[in-house]
Structure 1
Amino acid sequence: MKEVAAAIAISEGKVLVTRRAAGQKLAGYWEFPGGKLEPGEDVQTCIERELQEELGVSSTAGEVLTVSEYTYPGGAISLIAIEVSLHSSDFSLTVHDEYAWRTPEELLELTLAPADIPIAKKLLDAKKKDLQA
């Protein structure tokens, strides 16, 4: 099972999502930005590297929020959602054609990649719990 890191960057109650560009796997699907762990790399190092490669921004990785396992036709992945603080929002897209900031409720209105859906639901559940607290 491939380990894949996914950035959960939140600003003013909205979460960063990116859309896969034409020609990419899962083209047209929205996802939390990130990518596969390299051999010997920890998940925090991976997400900071991936955000630099995919969005051209530096970041600081925090805690693991949740893990979503999903089997695509090409194989199974373990999608590890990591809390991330971005040092900039001046993005330079490489494998995506669009980015957006969405509330947890709005995330589920997008065509999310299948492995990302459980993470979006957990973010929504966490927001509901915060409101009830």
Structure 2
Amino acid sequence: MQHIRVTAAIIVDNGRILATQRHDHDATGGKWEFPGGKIEPGETPEACLRRELREELDVDAEIGELFMETTHAYPSKTVELLVYRAAIRAGTIVLHAHQAHRWMMIDELGQLDWLAADWPIVTKIQSDFIEH
């Protein structure tokens, strides 16, 4: 089974978190995810996330601390997610790899149809930010 290392960003702005929706024609079309992507050989996770946010959203981001790591086994591959806090420093979101985006309040995140690998991130965000 293929093992893929990917990054994801938790981007917070005015108490809301950015969620992006995959194109309907993708294998997991219509599902929501935290933006990010595959780590290329020789690339650090932070450099990957900066590159992916530039490519996918047309923004320059500052990558902060590692928020969590999670692994999910899909039928055809295993995805290891390295999730970082991030902030948009320059640019306005232009979607290049998604069909939609939403800024969601933390307690609203559970309303979206997330990719299976992203659900643990939603759960941790809600427990870390709501309970404390």
TM range (shorter): over 0.9
Amino acid at match of 1:45: A
CA RMSD of aligned residues (A): 1.1
| SS in structure 1 of the partner of residue 85 of structure 2 | strand
Counterpart Cα distance in 2 of 1:22 and 1:128: 32
Residue 73 and residue 86 in structure 1: after superposition, are their counterparts in 2 closer, same or farther (change >3 A)? same
TM-score (norm. length: structure 1): 0.93
Counterpart Cα distance in 1 of 2:18 and 2:126: 14
2:123: which partner in 1?
121
2:57 pairs with one of 42, 48, 55: 55
Counterpart Cα distance in 2 of 1:123 and 1:88: 24
> CA offsets, 1:58-102, max 9 Å, x none?
111111100121011220011111110102461111110100011
Q: CA deviation at 1:22?
A: 2.2
Counterpart Cα distance in 2 of 1:114 and 1:104: 18
Segments of structure 2 that go 5 or more residues without pairing to the other structure are none
Between Structure 1 and Structure 2, how many residues are aligned? 130
Q: CA deviation at 1:16?
A: 0.3
2:94: which partner in 1?
92
1:26: which partner in 2?
28
Counterpart Cα distance in 2 of 1:105 and 1:126: 12
Q: CA deviation at 1:129?
A: 3.1
Moved >6 Å (runs of 4+): none
Question: Hey, which of these two has a bigger chunk of strand by percent?
Answer: 2
Amino acid at match of 1:52: R
Counterpart Cα distance in 2 of 1:108 and 1:96: 19
Counterpart Cα distance in 1 of 2:123 and 2:91: 24
Counterpart Cα distance in 1 of 2:34 and 2:90: 17
| SS in structure 2 of the partner of residue 87 of structure 1 | strand
Counterpart Cα distance in 2 of 1:25 and 1:9: 25
**Preserved contact between residue 24 and residue 95 of structure 1 (Cα < 8 Å):** no
Q: Percent identity?
A: 34
2:106 pairs with one of 99, 104, 107: 104
1:46: which partner in 2?
48
Segments of structure 1 that go 5 or more residues without pairing to the other structure are none
